[in-house]
Structure 1
């Protein structure tokens, strides 16, 4: 997935979240200001690049190789921030020291759907069993619509 696809999927996921009971504040991401929230973007086109004189890895998923001119190292890391305009959800949590927690709407929807359609019974030899296929974005969106329809009937 790349950042452009994430932005489009987040736009499609945003109206489904309130129907599934997610009451967090929805907003659009600002440029380099909103954390993606545990989502790993593997399309290297969007990775941040730079140069360093140090050879040790500093960040998770960082890739380093020696510079051709012999002047240090070239590094690449996946992006931590969503594209400007990506739909996000966020809320404060905590009592004594409340903190702001945010993630993109696609990640929030995917987590809700995967938790709902997973059988966590201990008889599955430690591996939870999916109750329906959720391998593609289309299947996740279809499952979310089915969940919303079930909740609408119950209400």
Structure 2
């Protein structure tokens, strides 16, 4: 996925989030400056940030759940560089955010696609206690964006009909 695809998926996900009854959050377009953060892994490396690094820097993997999220390489001139996936959304990407917390509330935000995908995946996750530990698995196939949108429309239809999926 790249930032342009994220922007288009967020635009499609925004009306569906508004129709879900149990989801709340303010929707707004991402501003031009780099203040809006998303949680999607952007694998298209042409969008990755290029940063210089100190020679003592070692490769870290600080992107949760993704291998190879940061690449440290040496250029032909002998300088070391870092490539990192972008964490800021493009201008105009529909974001969902709000204040969370009780004693020290903080602003949290994510793209509309991240919010819808997370909501649908949580809805179709089943918890199975196991002797080795807890196990979670999806009760429905959600591999592509079209699977997520189809499942979200079914959740909305079930809410309007007054039944539970």
TM-score, with length taken from structure 1: 0.90
Q: Distance in 2 between matches of 1:119 and 1:29?
A: 33
Q: Distance in 2 between matches of 1:144 and 1:53?
A: 46
CA contact (8 A) 2:71 2:84 kept: yes
Cα gap change, 1:55/1:42 in structure 2, threshold over 3 Å: closer, same or farther?
farther
2:127 is aligned with 1:120: yes
CA contact (8 A) 1:49 1:75 kept: yes
The residue that corresponds to 2:65 in the other structure is: none
Q: Alignment partner of 2:37: what SS?
A: coil
Report the more deviating stretch, 114-123 or 136-145.
114-123
Cα distance, 1:3 vs structure 2: 0.6
Cα distance, 1:138 vs structure 2: 0.3
Gaps of 5+ in 1: none
The residue that corresponds to 1:43 in the other structure is: 44
CA contact (8 A) 1:92 1:99 kept: yes
Over 6 Å off, 4+ runs = none
RMSD of aligned alpha carbons:
2.0
Counterparts of 1:25-104 in structure 2, within 5 Å, are: 25-31=26-32, 32-36=34-38, 38-57=39-58, 60=62, 61-70=69-78, 72-104=79-111
Q: Alignment partner of 1:92: what SS?
A: strand
Candidates 120, 141, 159, aligned match of 1:151: 159
Q: Distance in 1 between matches of 2:58 and 2:149?
A: 37
